[in-house]
Amino acid sequence: MYNNQSEPKDFHKDIQIGGMTCVNCARRVEQALQKIEGVKFASVNLATDTAFLISEREISSQEIKAAVESTGYQVLEGDREDLSQERYKKAKERLIVAWIVTLPLSILMILHMFGLHIPGFVLVEVLGVAFTIFYCGLATIKSAWIAFRHYHSNMDTLITIGSVTSWLTAVLNLLGLPIISFGTIGAMIVTIHLTGRFIESHLRDKAAKEIKALISLQAKEATVIHGEEEIKVPLNMLKRDQLIKVKPGERIPVDGIVLEGLSAVDESFISGEPIPKTKQRDDTVIGGSINLSGPLIVKALKIGEESFLAQMIKLIKEAQGAKVPIQALADSITNWFVPVIITLAVLSGVFWFFNLNNFQSFLLKAKELFPWILITDNIYSFAVFVFISTVVIACPCALGLATPMALVVGSGIAAKKGLIIRNAEAIQLSKDIGYVLMDKTGTITEGQPAVVEHNLSSDEMNIVASIESNSHHPLARAIAAEVKERVKVEDMKEIAGKGVEASYRGTKYFIGQPDKNDEYLSFFQQGQTVVEVWKDEKKIGFIVLADKIREDSEKAIDYLKKLHIVPVMVTGDNEITARAVAKETGIDEVYAGVKPDEKLDIVRKYQGLGKKVLMVGDGINDAASLKGADIGVAMGTGADLALDSADIVIIKEGITGLIYSIKISSSTFRIIRQNLFWAFLYNTLAIPMAMLGLLHPAIAEGAMMFSSITVILNSSRIKIEN
């Protein structure tokens, strides 16, 4: 049964970060947050511009702000949707202005290249490009300066160096020095960069639509009953135990219990079932669900961050910020990427400065394939041309987005299917699963057993039901439902895997597993469960409970077999009942009468066979085995989402969620591998081409932008079939 051992409470915090542009920025912020005293886990997600903290103490906003600002970035406060809209509006305005300036400059540059020299063009170029770089691209320059001041580099460092170097060639040309002007290329670099960031931001927002849809389920305000009055108050002003009126058509603002009314409530975002559920007095309701037909008076039980929806959103954001082991290679490369590229760009410029004449024939031949290649005898100009191309082409944006974008999309789809993939490592391990070990009660069965028979007196049954009302085990809840008038019990104690004991008026009761199973064979053979009741160490009776097998269990288990995954039942129930359920659902390997501490040994046994083991349980009794398995999956409910032992939490009913988790994980990991492959391939091919003088800086910037957008679009392809 439920092991009621208290554990130190972890504190969770979700933060919006402003100013990050690449994986190096995110890594710096993450490192700073990890140094805060008491922080156990910190993850920064570039794809969503957010950070997630888990700490052993409450971390103040001032501490977080100081840590983030020490890296040069900022904590954004206020409504995220408003911040996003404001950022979107500013980016759009500067992008439009950049194109208004850059387009005419590009036309004039082309005319100039074909011999149609416009009077004063170089001066116009210097001024126009300066405006584009230092006004339209101001955010990029600020980002590069922040990185420089804090002794690191980022994507904007390369953009700034490339564009400013291009502009300086125009300045030097205006001053009469013998160097070809690449000034307009500087404007093109910034404008294409801004275009790419704008498209990228739009696609990222679109890719995160599922988590936004969840956030939109949160009500903005609630109608509180205060005496004879009904007062509208913001959601963050609600207090526990307040009475709230929910009219038909309104979202239920809190998790609570119905005190008055009868109505149909749409809980499809949890259950996945389109059919509304009838709610009446003493029924629980979950914030975010929709009241459809009649008014309800609800007593608030969980508000704010305690609510089911808030916990669900928090866990999903945590999952989106996690890292897949395969990402470690990309992170280690991007850590040194920018300084290495700048070094290669300088070396390439120096090489061509001293060897241009020796390779003119190579360039002339290459120009037949790449018409944008610069053909000139001016060694200064060509060295700068190669330097700019190499710097611009190498921005590691695609590498930085490869994993987080796939996780954002994958976790969003998982949320829609009623899953929270809390540990991203599970995504990578899912492809190697060989065995799925699953509990019976609440996993294969519905976990909502009911008392079908007992031989206790009415008074004794009432005492037993009162004792069981203090337990959270599914069987205990079924017995507790039989209480007529709750009585006060003392010395309540739960014995994991055995039962529960307590005292009533000096008499000691024990309710738990039968001492001998022989006399209950007829019940067991029907798949029913029996618990015995002992009074002062003397058996006084028994209670028979039936737990219906989930409709989807047989189909889900059959699908596991088709994937060549072996399903195994591991249950604390007796062997006859366990085998009856196993036979009906198609499970061949059964371990019955297993205590919670013994489940971990079974997990280890199957791990010793050389394949990954996935364990499915209720997240409470099975904490040790969930942690010990390669992947731990907990069957969650609206009442209990804090399942810290699990890598994956199934919110909606049924183990079909297990199949979805395997499908989503496999699809997400496949996309991550594709993203990383194309990102590495892009840089592997593009950087040498730029160093050889085969790429024009504007084409290089366009290619860089295209690689990032490709990663985002590819991530959006993650999907699963029902």
What CA–CA distance (Å, rounded) separates 661 from 648? 8
What CA–CA distance (Å, rounded) separates 711 from 683? 13
What CA–CA distance (Å, rounded) separates 247 from 297? 9
- Asked if 573 and 593 count as a contact pair (C-beta separation under 8 A), the reply is yes
Q: Which of 41, 47, 42 is nearest to 22 (CA)?
A: 47
Please give the structure tokens belonging to residue 694: 């085969």
- Asked if 34 and 51 count as a contact pair (C-beta separation under 8 A), the reply is no
Q: What Cα–Cα distance (Å) separates residue 144 from each residue in 46, 138, 169, 212, 670?
A: 17, 10, 20, 30, 33
Task: Point out the catalytic residue in the list 49, 266, 439, 547.
Answer: 439
Query: Strand ranges (DSSP E) for 251-317?
Result: 255-260, 263-266, 277-279, 284-285, 290-291, 296-302
Residues 6+ apart with CB under 8 A from 163: 133, 137, 186, 187, 189, 190
- Asked if 611 and 434 count as a contact pair (C-beta separation under 8 A), the reply is yes
Q: What Cα–Cα distance (Å) separates residue 211 from each residue in 14, 285, 287, 313?
A: 14, 21, 16, 7
What CA–CA distance (Å, rounded) separates 555 from 565? 14
In terms of Cβ atoms closer than 10 Å to its own Cβ (0-12, 13-18, 19+), residue 448 is: middle
- Asked if 514 and 520 count as a contact pair (C-beta separation under 8 A), the reply is yes
Please give the structure tokens belonging to residue 213: 């849809």
What CA–CA distance (Å, rounded) separates 454 from 536? 19
Q: Whats the size of the chain, residue-wise?
A: 722
User: Is 439 among the residues known to form the active site?
Assistant: yes
- What's at 164, amino acid-wise? V
3-state secondary structure of 418: coil
What CA–CA distance (Å, rounded) separates 722 from 713? 22
Handedness of CA 304, 306, 308, 313 (dihedral sign): positive
**CA 61 from centroid of its chain's CA atoms:** 23
What CA–CA distance (Å, rounded) separates 438 from 422? 19
Helix (H) or strand (E) holding 98: helix 80-113
Helix (H) or strand (E) holding 566: strand 566-570
The CB density around residue 522, as the number of other CB atoms within 10 Å, is 10
In terms of Cβ atoms closer than 10 Å to its own Cβ (0-12, 13-18, 19+), residue 149 is: exposed
Please give the structure tokens belonging to residue 277: 């559920």
The residues pairing with 245 across neighbouring beta strands, listed in sequence order, are: 223, 297
Query: What is the 8-class DSSP label of residue 519?
Result: G
Q: Torsions phi, psi of 157, nearest 5?
A: -60, -45
- Asked if 621 and 497 count as a contact pair (C-beta separation under 8 A), the reply is yes
What CA–CA distance (Å, rounded) separates 140 from 146? 10
Q: Which residues are catalytic?
A: 439
